């Protein structure tokens, strides 16, 4: 009985057939349900490619596809993993090999214990073993080729085609946003700053100042050409300010300190007191003059100074000449002492000894003191350097005074030299003033730019209109928005009365603008308003009809003279043409008339220029003398800038 | 010879005897192989058959031939509307003895034969039809206080005309349930008709000889009972039976809509016994699912009672069973 299968082989084949059936079922279900997923995929992909839906819709379409794919996967997995009935494989084999249940019956009977098997059961098993020669799980459970496979292939090809298809959709691609917003200044302001720069350039002879003015000019030019953004403008302004400030400040401080020390010593002598006073107040020109006068005094042989006066002068000159060097020396000594103390404490610490709390505190204090002394020493050295020439002259003057018991001529010469030094320093001071002036202009400009930025486009337009009108190019009768007022007037005729009323309402929106001091200053902002006027007039037996008062009645009177018809025109009267040419004598209208005229026609004309100069001079003087908050100072200056005479 | 070999031999003998029997019947009955096998199946199962068909299709001839072939007592009852139960069971008569005394004596009716042909059973009233109930189920008859055992093998074969015909009474459900199979006798084909006419209109006469004895029949019935059934096959038969009940979870759509009452457990018994016989007839030693599927229609068709809607729709029990067989999986996890 070679080649006869055993029950174990039956079981293996049945098991394998069952597995194949399970896989086949998975394939069948998978292929049958796949068209749904593919149809969705083709539809969704086509819609995404052609319809160009929003990101949101695209997300949901993709999510829907994902859900379908997941559901399909679950379906296939369930088909693969679903528990099959026992003996399912054997039944498939029975059917395939037309065994009429022999195999499945034999397998089932064989599982019954032998003692419980009936004779016919054993016969049935033997019969199966005898009849079954070959089992083919592949034939019994073939992997199916569902009809839907063609559809699946077609849809898959479609999906791939759609995926590869490049749909050219004309889509509007917005141009890259042009974020360049140039800084804009009104032509009027640009002209103002250009004029100021030209003025400073003409006045200055210091190369450093001139370079700064050139940079300022370039900045103005760039702004007028609209080459710079707001941030860049402020950056360049800040750089310019910093450069100007950095260069001068340390020198100025040192110089001031040196002159102060000098004044302190010189005021101890009667003769040099005027020099000391002038130096104290930093009036270097006056100090030079006083020094010259002192030199003259010393030269004066008719009324020479007393010996005591000379001695006091000598001593004070000597001390003054040494003041800055002595101070430096003193600072150096102090520093050395402190360093010694610090070294001692640090050595102690280095040896591992623990510093007491007070010692540690002292060490910290020493550090701070040393730092301060360093700064002061540097300042003192700078002062010494600045004052070196003057000190030298003063020292020489003192020595000459000591020698010149017979006469102070040499000393006077030395003092004259010292006066020249002071003159030199004064000149330098002048340069400093120019720098300060330039700085001030820079700050003004920055403030104007800042305000323009805060005011927006409307403010800019308003300022441009203002600039035009300031030059007399605007329309004087333009709409003065926001006028309000109430007027009442009486026009008196002989027997007539006129009454006019004007009423208006307006709103002025207050605006807070940043001030120089960091505070905010309320300023008049934009205004809008409505006005209406009424006028009434009555005339009775008057020669002239009643009229409304100033700013009042636009209505005519309703009265009339009893004598309606006047005298006839005297046609026979003698007439003569006269031509009168006006002569400008400079003695024209009063200031108020000039100002009123300027407000109507623009800030032009010689009359206005004169009035402006008067007012501005007073304003400057008041600002220099009185205490005015820095923020307001700016606005006063700005006001005068705006109403300055135009050519 | 061991038990297994003996069993094998007995099965072989069974197959041989059935073959002889088929051949003998086939000498008289033309065609109708399915009906012949069905009738034989019912007899070998020790149960009864109900044949349905229009008159003249050879139903009575088939039963008579079978009775002659097996060499058993045969009686025929022609059911008519006026037939009384006593006409079937028998009656008690006064009989005078040789001594001249009189006594009551029970005269057995036709039901006491080994093979009973209840011809046109649905022409009798239900009361008379019910007279067969005890005989068919218990193989005994109770008259008065006395019970008479019917000799084995006992096989009732009833024929009925289609219910649509006039003068018929539908068989009670209990009566129907006692029939193992309900076999429908089809109209013969043209070839079969030629043969039938040739045999019946000429001088040709076939003498049927008894080829199987009573003891053979009993032995064959024993063999049928000893055929093993795998649990999965039995499970399938039960699931098919359950599916005929409209309120069962396995019920199909048609069953839910058109069936009033499903088959009783006798239906499952009939399916499995018939499957065993079919397996044996085909030379196998255990039935398969295909056997169950094949026998389920004749075994269940008379046990499934359609509701009014089913009747109105013209749905047949066979169609309902076909649907069940299609939908019920052969095996279940």
Contact B333 A121 (CB under 8 A): no
Q: Is A104 on the interface with B (CB under 8 A)?
A: yes
The whole-number pLDDT of residue A494 equals 40
Contacts of A81 in chain B (CB under 8 A): none
- A332 vs B24, higher pLDDT: B24
Residue A121: which of B228, B329, B331 has the nearest Cβ? B228
Q: Say whether B228 and A104 touch across the interface (CB within 8 A).
A: no
DSSP line for A508-563:
EEEEEEE-TTS-EEEEEEEEEEEEEEEEEEEEBS-SS-----TT---SPB--B-S-
Provide the number of CB pairs (under 8 Å) joining chain A to chain B.
Answer: 82
pLDDT at A626 (0 to 100): 83
Q: What is the pLDDT of residue B324?
A: 92
Q: Which residues of A touch B231 (CB under 8 A)?
A: 108
Residues 6+ apart with CB under 8 A from A31: A144, A146, A148, A149, A152
A100: nearest CB among B3, B282, B332 = B282
CA A647 → CA A471, A495, A603, A608, distances in Å?
7, 50, 8, 11
State the alpha helices, DSSP H only, in A404-522: 409-470
Residue A66: the pLDDT is 92
The answer to whether residue B153 neighbours chain A at the CB level (below 8 Å) is no
Q: Rounded CA gap, A90 and A86, in Å?
A: 9
The 3-state DSSP class for residue B55 equals coil
CA dist A409 and B30 (Å) reads 178
- β-strands A496-514, B90-96 pairing: unpaired
Residue A620 has a pLDDT of 85
CA distances from A127 to A130, A269, A318, B6, B12 (A): 5, 151, 146, 15, 13
- Flag if B333 and A84 touch (Cβ within 8 Å): yes
> How many angstroms separate the CA atoms of A36 and A155, rounded?
10
Q: Is any Cβ of chain B less than 8 angstroms from the Cβ of A357?
A: no
Contact list, A123 vs chain B (CB under 8 Å): 4, 7-8, 11, 285
The answer to whether A102 and A131 have CB atoms below 8 angstroms apart is yes
The nearest alpha carbon in chain A to B287 belongs to A101
Q: How far is B141 from chain A (nearest CA, A)?
A: 36
Q: How far is A84 from chain B, CA to nearest CA, in Å? A: 6
* pLDDT class of B245 with cuts at 50, 70, 90: very high
Per-residue pLDDT, A147: 82
**Confidence class of residue A443 from pLDDT cuts 50, 70 and 90?**
confident
Question: How many C-beta atoms lie closer than 10 Å to residue A63's C-beta?
Answer: 10
Q: Which positions in chain B touch A87 (Cβ < 8 Å)?
A: 232, 331
Q: Spell out the alpha helix ranges (H) of A82-186.
A: 88-96, 102-110, 119-131, 137-140, 148-164
Interchain CB distance below 8 Å, B333 and A86: yes
pLDDT digits (tens, 9 = 90+) for A173-185: 777 777 777 888 8
Highest mean pLDDT among A503-512, B105-114, B324-333: B105-114
Residue A317 CA to residue A400 CA, distance in Å, equals 11
Question: Percent of chain A scored above 70 by pLDDT?
Answer: 73
Q: In a mutagenesis test of the B interface, which of A100, A107, A128, A132 is the best target, namely the one with the most B β-carbons within 10 Å?
A: A100
CA angle A573, A577, A582 (to 5 degrees): 140
Which residues from B are below 8 Å from A91, CB to CB? 289, 330-331
Region of poorest pLDDT, from A179-183, A263-267, A505-509, B30-34:
A505-509
Tell me the C-alpha distance between B295 and B301, whole Å: 10
Task: Please provide the average confidence, as pLDDT, over all residues in chain A.
Answer: 74
Q: Residue B163: pLDDT band by 50, 70, 90 thresholds? A: low
A284 vs B45 pLDDT, higher one: B45
pLDDT at B187 (0 to 100): 86
Quote the minimal CA–CA distance from A128 to chain B in Å.
9
pLDDT at A70: 93
A460, A461, A527 from A507: Cα distances, Å: 21, 20, 6
Name which of A88, A91, A120 is nearest B228 (Cβ-Cβ): A120
Which residues 57-96 of A have a C-beta within 8 angstroms of B?
Answer: 83-88, 91, 94
Burial of residue A129 (CB within 10 Å: 0-12, 13-18, 19+) is buried
**pTM attached to this predicted model:** 0.51
pLDDT at B80 over 80: yes
| Residue of B1, B2, B284, B329 to mutate for A, most A C-beta atoms under 10 A | B284
Confidence at A525, pLDDT banded by 50, 70, 90: very low
Could you give the 3-state DSSP secondary structure of residue B211?
coil
**Going by C-beta distance under 8 Å and a sequence separation of 6 or more, which residues neighbour residue B233?**
A101, A105, B272, B275, B286, B287, B288, B289, B291, B292
B306 in helix, strand or coil? strand
Q: Which of B3, B230, B332 sits opposite A119 (nearest CB)?
A: B3
Find chain A residues with C-beta within 8 A of B287's C-beta: 101
**Which of A83, A84, A87 lies closest to B232 in CB terms?**
A87
Q: Which residue has the higher pLDDT, A467 or B94?
A: B94
| A106 min Cα distance to partner chain B (Å) | 9
For B221-237, what is each residue's pLDDT tens digit? 998 998 999 988 999 99
If contacts are CB pairs under 8 Å, which of residues 105-134 in chain A contact chain B? Answer: 105, 108-109, 118-124, 126-127
Query: Is B1 part of the contact surface with chain A (CB cutoff 8 Å)?
Result: no
Q: Which range, of A353-357, B304-308, B316-320, averages the lowest pLDDT?
A: A353-357
Task: Give the mean model confidence (pLDDT) for residues A137-160.
Answer: 86
CA A346 to each of CA A372, A408, A535, B107: distance values in angstroms, whole numbers, following the listed order: 20, 56, 95, 148
Q: Which residues of B touch A84 (CB under 8 A)?
A: 333
CB atoms B233 and A118 under 8 Å: no
CB A623 within 8 A of CB A617: no
Whether A109 sits inside 8 A of B233 (CB atoms) is no
Q: Which of A88, A101, A121 lies nearest to residue B288, judging by beta carbons?
A: A101
Residue A67 has what pLDDT? Answer: 93
Q: Report yes or no: A553 and A572 within 8 Å, Cβ to Cβ.
A: no
Do B4 and A122 lie within an 8 Å CB cutoff? yes
Please tell me the distance in Å from B43's CA to the nearest CA on chain A. 21
Q: Under a CB-based contact definition with an 8 Å cutoff, are residues B49 and B158 in contact? A: yes
Distance from CA of B11 to the nearest CA of A (A): 9
pLDDT at A230 over 70: yes
3-state DSSP percent of chain A in helix, strand and coil, to 5: 65, 10, 25
Choose the closest CB to A88 out of B7, B282, B331.
B331
Which range, A399-408, A443-452, B89-98, B251-260, has the best average confidence (pLDDT)?
B251-260
Closest CA to B285 of A40, A613, A118, A356: A118
CB pair distance less than 8 Å for A101 and B233: yes
Nearest residue of chain A to residue B6 (CA atoms): A119
Of the given ranges (A60-69, A415-424, B107-116), which has the lowest mean pLDDT? A415-424
Mean pLDDT over A108-132 rounds to: 85
ipTM above 0.90, yes or no: no
Q: Which of B3, B6, B288 sits opposite A94 (nearest CB)?
A: B288
- What is the mean predicted confidence (pLDDT) over A621-634? 81
Tell if the CB–CB gap between A101 and B290 is shorter than 8 Å.
yes
Which 3 state secondary structure label does DSSP give A602? coil
Bridge-based pairing of strands B155-160 and B48-52 is parallel
pLDDT over 90, % of chain A: 3
| A338's tokens | 């402190």
Chain B residue numbers with beta carbons less than 8 Å from the beta carbon of A98 are: none
Is residue A99 within 8 A of residue A80, CB to CB? The reply is no
Q: CA dist A257 to A238, A244, A388, A422, B173, Å? A: 28, 20, 13, 15, 137
- Asked if B316 and B254 count as a contact pair (C-beta separation under 8 A), the reply is no
CA–CA separation, A533 and A505 (whole Å): 11
Say whether pLDDT at B242 is over 60: yes
The pLDDT score that the predictor gives to residue B276 is 92
Per-residue pLDDT at A539 exceeds 90: no
Alpha carbon distance B42, B50 (integer Å): 9
CB distance from B328 to chain A under 8 Å?
no
Quick one: pLDDT at residue A631? 74
Taking CA B154 as the corner, what is the angle to CA B294 and CA A123, rounded to the nearest 5 degrees? Answer: 50
Q: Which two tokens stand for residue A490?
A: 């009486």
Residues in chain B: 333
Chain A residues whose beta carbon lies within 8 Å of the beta carbon of residue B272? none
């Amino acid at each position: 009985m070679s080649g006869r299968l055993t029950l174990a082989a039956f079981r293996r084949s049945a098991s394998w057939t069952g597995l194949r059936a399970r896989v086949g079922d998975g394939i069948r279900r998978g292929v049958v349900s796949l068209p749904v997923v593919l149809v969705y995929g083709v539809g969704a992909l086509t819609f995404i490619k052609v319809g160009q839906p929003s990101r949101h819709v695209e997300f949901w379409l993709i999510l829907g596809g994902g859900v379908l794919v997941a559901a399909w996967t679950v379906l296939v997995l369930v088909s693969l993993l679903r528990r099959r009935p026992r003996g399912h494989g054997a039944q498939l084999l029975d059917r395939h090999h037309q065994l009429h249940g022999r195999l499945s019956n034999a397998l089932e009977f064989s599982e019954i214990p032998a003692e419980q098997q009936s004779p016919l059961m054993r016969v049935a098993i033997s019969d199966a073993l005898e009849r079954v020669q070959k089992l083919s799980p592949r034939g019994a459970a073939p992997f199916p080729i569902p009809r839907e496979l063609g559809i699946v292939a077609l849809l898959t090809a479609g999906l791939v085609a759609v995926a590869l298809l490049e749909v050219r959709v004309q889509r509007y691609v917005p141009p890259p946003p042009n974020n360049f917003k140039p800084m804009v200044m009104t032509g009027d302001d640009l002209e103002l700053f250009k004029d100021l720069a030209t003025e400073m350039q003409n006045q200055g002879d210091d190369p450093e100042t001139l370079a700064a003015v050139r940079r300022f000019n370039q900045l103005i030019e760039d702004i007028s050409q609209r080459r710079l953004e707001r941030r860049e403008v402020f950056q360049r302004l800040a750089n310019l300010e910093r450069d100007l400030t950095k260069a001068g400040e340390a020198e100025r401080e040192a110089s001031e300190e040196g002159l102060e020390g000098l004044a302190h010593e010189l005021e101890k002598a009667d003769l040099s007191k005027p020099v000391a006073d002038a130096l104290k107040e930093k009036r270097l020109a006056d100090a030079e003059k006083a020094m010259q006068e002192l030199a003259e005094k010393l030269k004066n042989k008719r009324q020479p100074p007393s010996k005591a006066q000379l001695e006091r002068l000598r001593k004070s000159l000597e001390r003054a000449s040494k003041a800055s060097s002595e101070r430096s020396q003193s600072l150096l000594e102090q520093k050395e002492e402190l360093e010694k103390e610090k070294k001692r404490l640090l050595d102690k610490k280095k040896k591992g000894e623990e510093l007491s709390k007070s010692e540690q505190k002292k060490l910290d204090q020493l550090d701070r003191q040393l730092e301060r002394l360093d700064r002061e020493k540097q300042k003192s050295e700078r002062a010494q350097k600045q004052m070196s020439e003057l000190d030298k002259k003063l020292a020489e003057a003192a020595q000459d005074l000591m020698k010149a018991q017979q006469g102070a001529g040499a000393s006077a010469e030395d003092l004259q030299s010292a006066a020249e030094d002071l003159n030199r320093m004064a000149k330098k001071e002048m340069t400093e003033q120019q720098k300060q002036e330039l700085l001030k202009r820079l700050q003004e400009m920055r403030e104007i730019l800042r305000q323009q930025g805060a005011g927006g486009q409307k403010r800019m337009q308003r300022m441009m209109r203002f600039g035009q009108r300031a030059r007399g190019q605007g329309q004087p009768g333009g709409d003065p928005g926001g006028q309000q007022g109430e007027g009442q007037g009486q026009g008196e005729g002989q027997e007539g009365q006129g009454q006019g009323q004007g009423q208006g309402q307006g709103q002025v929106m207050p605006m807070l603008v940043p001030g120089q001091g960091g505070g905010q200053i309320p300023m008049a902002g934009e205004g809008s308003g409505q006005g209406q006027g009424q006028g009434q007039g009555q005339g009775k037996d008057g020669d002239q009809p009643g009229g409304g008062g100033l700013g009042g009645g636009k209505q005519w009177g309703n009265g009339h003279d009893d004598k309606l018809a006047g005298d006839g025109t005297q046609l026979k009267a003698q007439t003569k043409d006269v031509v009168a040419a006006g002569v400008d004598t400079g003695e024209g209208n009063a200031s108020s008339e000039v100002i009123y005229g300027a407000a109507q026609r623009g800030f032009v004309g010689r009359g206005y220029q004169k009035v402006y100069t008067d007012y501005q001079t007073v304003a400057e003087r008041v600002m220099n003398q009185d205490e005015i908050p820095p923020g307001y100072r700016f606005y006063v200056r700005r006001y005068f800038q705006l109403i300055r005479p135009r050519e | 010879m061991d038990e297994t070999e003996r069993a094998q031999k007995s099965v072989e003998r069974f197959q041989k005897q059935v073959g002889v029997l088929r051949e003998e019947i086939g000498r008289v009955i033309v065609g109708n192989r399915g009906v012949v096998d069905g009738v034989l199946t019912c007899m070998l199962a020790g149960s009864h058959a109900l044949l349905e068909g229009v008159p003249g299709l050879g139903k009575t001839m088939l039963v008579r031939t079978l009775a002659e072939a097996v060499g058993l007592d045969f009686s025929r009852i022609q059911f008519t509307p006026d037939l009384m139960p006593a006409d079937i069971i028998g009656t008690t008569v006064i009989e005078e003895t040789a001594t001249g005394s009189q006594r009551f004596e029970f005269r057995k009716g036709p039901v006491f034969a080994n093979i009973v042909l209840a011809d046109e059973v649905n022409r009798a009233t239900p009361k008379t039809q019910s007279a067969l109930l005890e005989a068919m189920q218990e193989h005994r008859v109770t008259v008065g206080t006395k019970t008479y055992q019917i000799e084995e093998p006992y096989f009732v074969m009833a024929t009925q005309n289609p219910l649509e015909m006039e003068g018929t009474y539908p068989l009670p459900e209990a009566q129907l349930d006692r029939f193992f199979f309900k076999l429908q006798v089809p109209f013969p084909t043209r070839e079969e008709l030629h043969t039938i006419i040739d045999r019946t209109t000429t001088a040709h006469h076939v003498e049927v000889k008894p080829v199987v004895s009573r003891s053979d029949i009993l032995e064959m019935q024993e063999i049928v009972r000893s055929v093993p059934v795998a649990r999965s096959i039995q499970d399938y038969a039960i699931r098919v039976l359950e599916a005929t009940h409209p309120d069962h979870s396995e019920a199909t759509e048609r069953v839910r809509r058109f069936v009033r009452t499903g088959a009783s457990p006798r239906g499952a018994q009939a399916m499995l016994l018939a499957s065993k016989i079919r397996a044996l007839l085909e030379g196998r030693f255990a039935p398969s699912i295909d056997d169950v599927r094949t026998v389920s229609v004749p075994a269940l068709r008379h046990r499934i009672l359609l509701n009014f809607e089913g009747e109105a729709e013209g749905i047949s029990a066979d169609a309902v069973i076909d649907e069940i067989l299609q939908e019920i999986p052969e095996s279940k996890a």
